[in-house]
């Protein structure tokens, strides 16, 4: 793929096609000439000294992996622009429903309630996406010949396709490891260019410990708690010893309704065309989801759940929810199809 073809595909990298800006570059929507395929083009900001390493890491990871819950890398470009400056870009399959971040935290909430309602995720959709993400991590940690640690799992790095299936992306900080070992440190320092994102990074990384698959599990736990509480780990209420993990742990099981995302409370209680009612079985499922998030985000790596256990547990929670005695066959189908 050439610079010229990407320039044309994105209409000169125009602001109207700009999808977002990150630490290592900008992402644009584009249309490839040969098949009129919608793509996302990530143009690396090479003024950032770590951008080239990020480019190399993403190419290396995504060239070696194939999974339905990972963003698909279509091609890459490494050359120069018309001014002779170095140019690097990655071309991905376009995800029409954007990032999980955009769905959990709309930029202008409350302005248009009808639009906000249509853009919110119901309980089963969130559970499905959570399972998609855990399946992606399970594949990276267990299903690859060489285990891969993502190192920067967060809502903005989870993209949703036209069927609301979750795809993990942005492997700019990812690391390969030679041994398929979980919850154990590898012989590579986390200070070696691996910083992740505040609020999602495992606490041991801040102490200079080696990156590990359990670090991804911590990030996943925080993400799971955020998905069902609606609270970011960097919320202003979290200070001193209080954080998202301790806040949720202290509220269970008696105050689950208070920590659940208000949008989900409205849905379950029938205020937003609910497909099921709040009852003991539904409450048990909600508590179980939070317990998985708390177990994954434990401070000590040795106390965190194995990602394979996470996937199995969330699948069991989903089955239990859909078998709820208060949900008829038609209602189950409504939830599954919504």
Cβ neighbours around 15 below 10 Å, total: 9
Report yes or no: 286 and 228 within 8 Å, Cβ to Cβ: yes
d(CA 292, CA 313): 8
Question: What residues contact residue 136 under an 8 Å CB cut-off, 6+ apart?
Answer: 67, 69, 70, 166, 167, 168
State residue 75 phi and psi, 5-degree precision: -165, 175
Strands (E), 56-157: 73-80, 86-93, 148-149
Tokens encoding 283: 């409450």
Please identify which residue in the block is written with the tokens 């990384």: 205
CA distance 262 to 247: 16
3-class secondary-structure state, position 256: helix
Q: Is there a catalytic annotation at residue 86?
A: no
Please pick, among 86, 132, 152, 326, the residue that the annotation labels catalytic: 152
CB neighbour class for 35 (10 Å; exposed up to 12, middle 13-18, buried from 19): exposed
> What is the C-alpha to C-alpha distance for residues 168 and 99, in angstroms, rounded to an integer?
10
Encoded tokens for 46: 């090479």
8 A C-beta contact, residue 107 and residue 319: no
CA atoms within 13 A on the CB side of 270: 5
Active-site residue set: 152
């Amino acid at each position: 793929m050439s610079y010229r073809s990407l320039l044309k595909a994105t209409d000169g990298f125009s602001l109207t096609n700009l999808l977002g800006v990150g630490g290592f570059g900008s992402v644009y929507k584009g249309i490839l000439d040969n098949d009129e395929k919608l793509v996302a083009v990530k143009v690396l900001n090479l003024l950032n000294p770590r951008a080239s390493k990020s480019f190399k890491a993403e190419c290396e990871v995504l060239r070696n992996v194939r999974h339905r819950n990972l963003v698909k890398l279509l091609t890459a470009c490494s050359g120069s622009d018309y001014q002779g400056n170095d140019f690097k870009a990655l071309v991905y399959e376009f995800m029409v429903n954007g990032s999980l971040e955009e769905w959990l935290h709309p930029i202008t909430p409350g302005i248009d309630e009808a639009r906000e309602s249509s853009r919110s995720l119901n309980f089963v959709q969130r559970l499905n996406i959570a399972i998609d993400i855990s399946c992606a991590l399970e594949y990276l940690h267990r299903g690859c010949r060489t285990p891969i640690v993502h190192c920067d799992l967060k809502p903005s790095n989870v993209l949703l396709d036209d069927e609301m299936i979750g795809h993990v992306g942005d492997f700019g900080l990812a690391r390969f490891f030679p041994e398929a070992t979980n919850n154990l440190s590898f012989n590579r320092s986390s200070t070696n260019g691996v910083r992740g994102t505040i609020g999602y990074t495992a606490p041991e990384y801040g102490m200079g410990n080696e990156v590990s698959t359990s670090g991804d599990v911590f990030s996943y736990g925080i993400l799971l708690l955020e998905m069902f509480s609606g609270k970011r780990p960097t919320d202003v209420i979290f200070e001193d010893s209080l954080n998202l993990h301790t806040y949720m742990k202290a509220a269970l099981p008696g105050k689950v309704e208070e920590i659940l995302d208000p949008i989900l409370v409205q849905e379950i209680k029938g205020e937003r065309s609910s497909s099921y009612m709040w009852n003991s079985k539904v409450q048990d499922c909600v508590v179980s989801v939070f317990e998985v998030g708390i177990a994954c985000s434990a401070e000590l790596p040795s106390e965190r759940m194995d990602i394979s256990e996470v996937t199995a547990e969330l699948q069991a929670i989903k089955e239990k929810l859909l078998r709820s005695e208060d949900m008829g066959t038609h209602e189950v189908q409504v939830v599954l199809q919504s």
